[in-house]
């Protein structure tokens, strides 16, 4: 057929074809396919692939591709990365999608990172760590051996753990190596706190003492309590040391001279915890930057201003119940903005600006669970059998780790949390080092540590 005649015929056929119903069009195509040979069928196959299998990620503007990808869950996106190199490149560069996925897992987001491929890598690392937590594979254990009598006091800071024992000694350990760095002779230790130069101990002999690590010498002795000293805290900048005692009082001392500056009364039980902390919020009673003293007994938390005036007045008293059968667990969290404490009724969080209860978290069977650490994303809890991690956004337990038969202390001095920054969100660098430490009946220290990333 001549080209001119063919084109006229094709125009007529096209007009007729367009006038057919869909069913008639389908039947016409079926008939034409049945009349086609190998060359026609190959031509048809090649053109159909171009017409029907359109790569929208390749064809769409990048902004539209990112918008569509936001509606898919991360696991589906990972599967889509296997479609082609182009898909993998586009999906991996979708920063907002991977950042959101990381946030949902409790991961910290650093907006200063500009690498568009960075956050998919972070997500893969995050999903592995969260799976390890769920499968009870994120931690490992170790022990510190060296004391010959009951270990009653623990304090952790920057990779170092201090232990105070009834063998009249205190030791400073490097948690990563298990090596004892310092060992000095002391009195019986009910509580300890240290820095690079010195160790401060509260004792069952009713006194507080300050010791030099390098020489082991006692540099200051604080006398005045009439009962065992269960908690101490100090601040070098203020030159102040505070102590809580079984005599129901809190004493404020001059750290450098050992002089008692103030005795705070009002507690009706042993004072088992004192915390000296800089305030971060403004209220009618304090301003950001003010130092605040918190003291806790079995039933109440008292808030005091820090000053050298005599007869200092308590700013506020917090409690969870009038019922004296409901006691506070021996752990207190105060970061300058929130106060958190646990009891048989649940985990209580107070706003420090207003002293209002922000929330009460009541997971199942909470009566024996104690608080170890509290952050923006996670809380670390434990009972007689397990260490727990709670996602505070959902108030659900996401992990647990078995604990041995450790030595139990009603005052909470013989167990503690280690590194705490991960409670504000994991980031791939802060999930390392000590998680939990407790003294054991055989006088050793049981450590729970983060396992290195697989």
Q: Where are the beta strands (DSSP E) in 90-217?
A: 139-144, 151-157, 160-165, 169-174, 179-185, 189-194, 198-203, 208-212
State how far the Cα of 344 lies from the Cα of 52, in Å rounded to an integer.
64
Task: Look up the pTM and report it.
Answer: 0.84
State how far the Cα of 417 lies from the Cα of 450, in Å rounded to an integer.
12
DSSP state of 411: T
Q: What percent of the chain has pLDDT over 70?
A: 96
DSSP state of 442: T
Give the residues across from 171 on adjacent strands.
Answer: 163, 183
Q: Does residue 365 carry a pLDDT above 80?
A: no
Distance of CA 309 to the CA centre of its chain: 38
State how far the Cα of 91 lies from the Cα of 80, in Å rounded to an integer.
8
Buried b (16+ CB within 10 A) or exposed e, 235-262: eeebebbbbbbbbbbbbbbbbeebebbb
429: helix, strand or coil: coil
The pLDDT value recorded for residue 24 is: 92
The pLDDT value recorded for residue 410 is: 66
Give the residues across from 243 on adjacent strands.
Answer: 232, 251
Residue with tokens 């009195």: 187
Q: Does residue 255 carry a pLDDT above 80?
A: yes
State how far the Cα of 67 lies from the Cα of 38, in Å rounded to an integer.
43
Q: What is the pLDDT of residues 291-315, one digit of tens each?
A: 999 999 999 999 998 865 656 788 9
| Nearest C-alpha neighbor of 348 from the set 394, 301, 286 | 301
The pLDDT value recorded for residue 138 is: 94
Q: Does residue 349 carry a pLDDT above 80?
A: yes
Is there a contact between 303 and 293 (Cβ–Cβ < 8 Å)?
A: yes
Is there a contact between 445 and 163 (Cβ–Cβ < 8 Å)?
A: yes
Q: Does residue 331 carry a pLDDT above 90?
A: no
Buried b (16+ CB within 10 A) or exposed e, 179-206: eeebbbebbbbbbbbbeeebbbbbbbeb
The pLDDT value recorded for residue 401 is: 95
The pLDDT value recorded for residue 143 is: 95
DSSP state of 107: B
Q: Does residue 275 carry a pLDDT above 80?
A: yes
CATH T-level fold of 57-135: Monooxygenase (1.20.1280)
Distance of CA 182 to the CA centre of its chain: 30
The pLDDT value recorded for residue 309 is: 60
pLDDT grade for 412, boundaries at 50, 70 and 90: low
Q: Does residue 169 carry a pLDDT above 80?
A: yes
State how far the Cα of 301 lies from the Cα of 355, in Å rounded to an integer.
11
Domain positions in the chain are 57-135, 140-184+363-410+414-453, 186-329
Q: Does residue 329 carry a pLDDT above 90?
A: no
Q: What is the pLDDT of residues 103-127, one digit of tens each?
A: 999 999 887 887 878 889 999 999 9
Top-level CATH class of 186-329? mainly beta
Average pLDDT over residues 48-61: 77
């Amino acid at each position: 057929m001549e080209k001119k005649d063919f084109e006229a015929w094709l125009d007529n056929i096209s007009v007729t074809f367009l006038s057919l119903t869909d069913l008639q069009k389908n039947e016409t195509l079926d008939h034409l396919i049945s009349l086609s040979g190998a060359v026609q069928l190959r031509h048809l196959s090649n053109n159909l692939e171009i017409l029907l299998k359109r790569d929208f990620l390749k064809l769409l503007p990048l902004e539209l591709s990112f918008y569509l990808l936001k509606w898919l869950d991360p696991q589906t996106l990972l599967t889509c990365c296997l479609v082609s190199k182009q898909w993998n490149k586009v999906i991996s560069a979708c920063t907002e999608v991977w950042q959101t996925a990381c946030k949902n897992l409790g991961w910290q987001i650093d907006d200063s990172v500009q690498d568009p491929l960075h956050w998919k890598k972070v997500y893969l690392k995050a999903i592995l760590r969260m799976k390890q937590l769920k499968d009870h594979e994120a931690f490992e254990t170790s022990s510190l051996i060296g004391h010959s009598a009951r270990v009653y006091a623990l304090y952790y800071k920057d990779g170092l753990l201090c232990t105070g024992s009834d063998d009249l000694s205190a030791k400073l350990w490097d948690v990563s190596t298990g090596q004892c760095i310092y060992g000095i002779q002391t009195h019986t230790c009910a509580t300890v706190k240290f820095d690079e130069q010195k160790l401060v101990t509260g004792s069952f002999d009713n006194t507080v003492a300050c010791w030099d690590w390098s020489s082991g010498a006692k540099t200051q002795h604080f006398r005045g309590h009439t009962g065992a000293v269960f908690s101490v805290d100090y601040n070098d900048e203020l030159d102040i040391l505070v102590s809580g005692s079984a005599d129901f009082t809190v004493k404020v001392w001059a750290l450098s001279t050992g002089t008692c500056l103030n005795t705070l009364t009002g507690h009706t039980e042993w004072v088992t915890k004192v915390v000296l902390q800089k305030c971060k919020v403004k209220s009618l009673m304090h301003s950001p930057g003010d130092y605040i003293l918190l003291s806790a007994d079995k039933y109440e938390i008292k808030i005091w201003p820090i000053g050298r005036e005599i007869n200092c007045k308590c700013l506020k008293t917090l409690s969870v119940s009038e019922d004296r059968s409901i006691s506070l667990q021996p752990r207190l969290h105060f970061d300058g903005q929130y106060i958190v404490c646990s009891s048989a009724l649940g985990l209580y969080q107070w706003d420090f600006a207003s002293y209002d209860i922000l929330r009460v978290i009541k997971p199942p069977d909470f009566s024996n669970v104690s608080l170890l650490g509290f952050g923006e994303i996670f809380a670390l809890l434990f009972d007689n059998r397990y260490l727990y991690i709670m996602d505070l956004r959902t108030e659900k337990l996401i992990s647990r780790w078995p604990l041995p038969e450790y030595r139990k202390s009603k005052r909470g001095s013989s167990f503690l949390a280690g590194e705490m920054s991960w409670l504000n969100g994991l980031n791939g660098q802060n999930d390392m080092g000590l998680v939990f430490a407790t003294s054991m009946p055989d006088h050793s220290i049981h450590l729970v540590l983060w396992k290195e990333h697989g």
